[in-house]
Amino acid sequence: MEFTEKHVEGLKDLLYRMADDLLILGHRNSEWTGLGPILEEDIAFSSMAQDKVGQSLALYEILHELGESDPDTVAFTRNDFQFHNCQMVEFPIGEYDFSLVRHFFYDHADALRFEALTETVFEPLQMVTKKFKGEIKYHTMHANSWLKQLAHGSEESKIRMQQSINELFPYALGMFEPSDYEQELMESGLFIGEAALQQRWLDVVVPTLESYGYTVPTDAAPLFGGRKGVHTEHLQPLLDEMTEVFRIDPSAEW
C-alpha cells in the first residue's frame, strides 16, 4: 500500500520511542560503571548499557534517512518535552534491585518489540532488528538469571526485588502508552500496535516472575505521559549531564 503522511509520522513516532528509550536507559545504566556489585557484573551491565546506546544510534540513523536531523543533533540538542521515552527509563538508578527490575521489564519489552518488527513492511527497520537479535537475547538472559537468583538469595533480596517490582510495574505498563497513530501503523503492516505488544509482554513477564516466586500487581493502572513528552523532574538533569561535553563545542569533529 501507499504510505500517506500519517503513516510516516506514525513510523517516526515509533522510532523515536524506541531510540529515546534506548538512549536514556543506556545512559542511566552506564552510571553503574565502576560501582557494580562485583567486577563481573560491572562489566556485563556496562557492556549492555553500551549496546543500548549503539542500538539507539542505528534507529536515529533511520530517522535521519526519513528527514529528521542527524543523530548527534537529535540526541544532544533536544529538551525533555521533546523526548518520546517512557518515564520508567528516566528514573535515577536507585539501588541495584531497582535497576535490575527495570532492566528486566524494559529488556523483555525491547526483545518483543524487535521481534515483532522483524515482520514490519519497512525494510530498514527490519534489517536493524535482525542485526541486534543476539545482543538483545543476551540482555534478557542476564535479566532472568538475576531475577531468579535474587528470588532465592536471602529473605532481604527477595523482599527488595518484590518491592521494586511493585514500584515499577505501573511505569512498566507506561511503556505501552498508545500513540496517535495506532490505526495507521497496524493497517499498513508497519507495527502490531502497543496493545498487542503489551499482551505479548504480559504473557512472558508475568509467568516468568511467578515461576521465580514473585507476585505481580497485574491490576495496577498504567502511568502514561512519557510518550507524549510529559516527563518526571529526573529527565532534564540527565540530559544536561549527557550533553555537557557536546554543548562546549557542538561543531567539534570527533
Partner 1 sequence: MKILSLDPRVTRENIDVETRDGELQPLEHFETYEVFEQRKRGTHHVHVGNVHAPSHELAMVFAKEQYTRRGQCVNLWVVRTSDVFVTEYMDSDIFETTASKKYREPDSYKVIDRINAFKAREAAKNA
Residues found near partner 1 in the complex (CB under 8 A) = 37-41, 43-44, 47, 138, 141-142, 145-146, 148-149, 153-154
Cα–Cα distance, 29 to 137 (Å, whole number):
18
C-alpha cell at 103: 532492566
Shortest distance, CB of residue 43 to partner 1, whole angstroms? 6
Shortest distance, CB of residue 47 to partner 1, whole angstroms? 6
Among residues 91, 111, 105, which one has the least CA distance to residue 146? 105
Query: Quick count: other Cβ atoms within 10 Å of Cβ 35?
Result: 11
Shortest distance, CB of residue 99 to partner 1, whole angstroms? 16
Shortest distance, CB of residue 142 to partner 1, whole angstroms? 5
Cα–Cα distance, 176 to 217 (Å, whole number):
17
Shortest distance, CB of residue 234 to partner 1, whole angstroms? 27
Q: Are 84 and 231 in contact (CB under 8 A)?
A: no
C-alpha cell at 221: 493502572
Of the pair 33, 236, the CB lying nearest partner 1 is at 33
Of the pair 4, 145, the CB lying nearest partner 1 is at 145
Of the pair 119, 156, the CB lying nearest partner 1 is at 156
Of the pair 154, 251, the CB lying nearest partner 1 is at 154
Of the pair 37, 237, the CB lying nearest partner 1 is at 37
Q: Are 109 and 99 in contact (CB under 8 A)?
A: no
Q: Is 34 helix (H, G, I), strand (E, B) or coil?
A: coil
What are the C-alpha distances in Å from 130 to residues 112, 135, 136, 201? 12, 10, 10, 19
